[in-house]
């Protein structure tokens, strides 16, 4: 009985082992996925064109997801790991490179790339190098590869976000001089408590002017919360403060869809028992100020300041009253791209970063 019982036990164990093999190991062999490994991604950017070479081990095919800033994306698949894509707009893009075993099983590598398309400065309005009765007294054509000694950079967050609750931190890094243009980049980047960075330059203490014609040719950023400005402050600001120093805004734009991205503002600010201002705006009939270059000008004499866009007058301030004495003094220049603040409001989900302001030249003419 004992022997028989032992034999039964052996048979049961063998059966059990067989059942184990059948119920467990065989399905595992059928469904176990071996993921690819060692995914290597090499990205080459040539202006608008992006070329990717991906390699991996144990891979069946590759896919490439190019994510655009507006929330859309395109996906390429290839067996050889090669992919190309051509971007039509300057900006930052996310590329996800995936090495697949099958559609749902893959490993991925994520890159962020910057596409910086050459801006064609020949497109848009242009202004002459001379005017009858005027002499060109100062110009910056931004032809070198760094800012000239006529400019200094202002950095940081100023007081109260430069007086306007602006969100950007100004760095020395967010500008370039190349291809005959100054480019200021506003981007999403954390520095200190700031979520955006940009650049602000000025000629304070270096170049200041009383009266004349000033032409600035520029291509402006766009989108909610963007606030590009080409403007002036009284050279005496450090002694009398703002607004007693006076402010001349040659061009300001508060971006946003609809009319905002195609409307510029020309304004003066002064002190008359407190802050006073006077201004008007000019809208393109269609498109945006990002589409091409425009020339923003003032003609300023001892009677008035007149604002022009592409040589079309859109605002005139009479500066003869005694309480506008600010505007008969020396003013320096400031170029900046602010983000957020009291006037434009903050960027929203529709705002695409980075954004760029290009300045082709500034020319100052005096009689």
What is the spatial distance between Cα 341 and Cα 337, in angstroms, rounded to a whole number? Answer: 12
Q: Which of 57, 141, 204, 252 is catalytic?
A: 252
Least distance between Ca ion and beta carbon 157 (Å): 30
What is the spatial distance between Cα 333 and Cα 233, in angstroms, rounded to a whole number? Answer: 7
Does residue 190 sit in helix, strand or coil?
A: strand
Distances (CA, A) of 119 to 178, 246, 333, 357: 10, 34, 24, 11
Radius of gyration of the chain (CA): 31
Least distance between Ca ion and beta carbon 253 (Å): 20
Closest CB to Ca ion among residues 250, 268: 250
Least distance between Ca ion and beta carbon 217 (Å): 8
Pairing of strands 208-209, 331-339: antiparallel
What is the spatial distance between Cα 63 and Cα 106, in angstroms, rounded to a whole number? Answer: 9
Closest CB to Ca ion among residues 93, 151: 151
Closest CB to Ca ion among residues 163, 180: 180
Least distance between Ca ion and beta carbon 361 (Å): 5
What is the spatial distance between Cα 255 and Cα 120, in angstroms, rounded to a whole number? Answer: 22
What is the spatial distance between Cα 295 and Cα 277, in angstroms, rounded to a whole number? Answer: 23
271 binds Ca ion (CB under 5 A): no
293 binds Ca ion (CB under 5 A): no
Per residue, what are the HEC states of 167-187? CEEECCCCEEEECCEEEEEEE
Of 122-130, 137-145, 225-233, 321-329, which segment contacts Ca ion by CB under 5 A? 137-145
Of 289, 307, 353, 361, which one interacts with Ca ion (CB under 5 A)? 361
Interaction pattern, residues 304-343, with Ca ion; x per rule: CB under 5 A = ----------------------------------------
Least distance between Ca ion and beta carbon 141 (Å): 4
141 binds Ca ion (CB under 5 A): yes
What is the spatial distance between Cα 319 and Cα 203, in angstroms, rounded to a whole number? Answer: 24
C-beta separation of 232 from 331 below 8 A = yes
Active-site residue flag, 118: no
144 binds Ca ion (CB under 5 A): no
Pairing of strands 194-198, 168-170: parallel
Least distance between Ca ion and beta carbon 129 (Å): 12
Least distance between Ca ion and beta carbon 104 (Å): 53
Q: Which of 166, 235, 247, 326 is catalytic?
A: 247
**Stretch 37-56 residues interacting with Ca ion (CB under 5 A):** none
Torsion of CA 149, 182, 306, 292, to 10 degrees: 170
**Stretch 67-106 residues interacting with Ca ion (CB under 5 A):** none
Q: Which residue is nearest to Ca ion (CB)?
A: 180
Total site size for Ca ion, rule CB under 5 A: 5
**Stretch 166-225 residues interacting with Ca ion (CB under 5 A):** 180
Of 48-56, 103-111, 240-248, 354-362, which segment contacts Ca ion by CB under 5 A? 354-362
Of 196, 360, 363, 365, which one interacts with Ca ion (CB under 5 A)? 360
Q: What are phi and psi of 155, to 5 degrees?
A: -120, 165
Task: Name the one residue in this structure whose structure tokens are 């005496």.
Answer: 236
Burial of 166 (0-12, 13-18, 19+ CB in 10 A): buried
Closest CB to Ca ion among residues 141, 329: 141
Active-site residue flag, 247: yes
C-beta separation of 360 from 122 below 8 A = no
Q: Which residues are catalytic?
A: 247, 252
Kindly list the residues in this chain that would bind Ca ion in the complex (CB under 5 A): 141-142, 180, 360-361
């Amino acid at each position: 009985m004992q022997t028989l019982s032992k034999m039964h036990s052996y048979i049961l164990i063998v059966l059990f082992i067989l059942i184990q093999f059948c119920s467990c190991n065989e399905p595992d062999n059928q469904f176990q996925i071996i993921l690819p490994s060692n995914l290597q991604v090499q990205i080459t950017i040539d202006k608008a064109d992006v070329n990717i070479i991906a390699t991996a081990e144990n891979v069946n095919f590759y896919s490439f997801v190019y994510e655009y800033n507006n929330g859309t994306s395109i996906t390429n698949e290839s067996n050889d790991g090669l992919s190309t894509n051509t971007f039509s707009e300057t900006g930052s893009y996310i590329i996800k490179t995936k090495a697949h075993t099958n559609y749902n099983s893959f490993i991925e590598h994520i890159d962020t790339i910057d596409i910086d398309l050459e801006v064609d400065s020949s497109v848009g309005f242009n202004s002459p190098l001379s005017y009858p009765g005027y002499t060109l007294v100062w110009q910056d054509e931004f032809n070198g590869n760094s800012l000239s000694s006529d400019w200094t950079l202002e950095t940081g967050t100023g007081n109260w976000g430069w007086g306007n609750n602006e969100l950007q931190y100004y760095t020395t890094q967010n500008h370039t001089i190349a291809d005959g243009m100054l480019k200021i980049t506003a981007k999403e980047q954390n520095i200190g408590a700031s979520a955006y960075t940009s650049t602000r330059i000025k000629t304070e203490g270096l170049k200041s002017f009383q009266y004349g014609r000033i032409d600035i040719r520029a291509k402006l950023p766009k989108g909610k919360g963007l606030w590009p400005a080409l403007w002036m402050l009284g050279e005496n600001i450090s002694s009398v403060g703002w607004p007693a120093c006076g402010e001349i805004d040659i061009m300001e734009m508060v971006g946003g869809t609809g009319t905002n991205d195609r409307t510029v503002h020309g304004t003066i600010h002064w002190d008359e028992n407190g802050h006073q201002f006077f201004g008007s705006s000019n809208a393109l009939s269609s498109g945006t100020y990002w589409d091409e270059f425009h020339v923003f000008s003032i003609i300023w004499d001892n009677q008035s300041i007149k604002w022009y866009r592409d040589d079309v007058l859109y605002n005139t301030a009479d500066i003869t009253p005694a309480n506008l004495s600010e505007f008969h003094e020396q003013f320096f220049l400031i170029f900046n791209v602010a983000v957020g603040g009291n006037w434009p409001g903050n960027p929203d989900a529709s705002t695409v970063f980075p954004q760029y302001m290009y300045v082709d030249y500034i020319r100052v003419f005096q009689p």
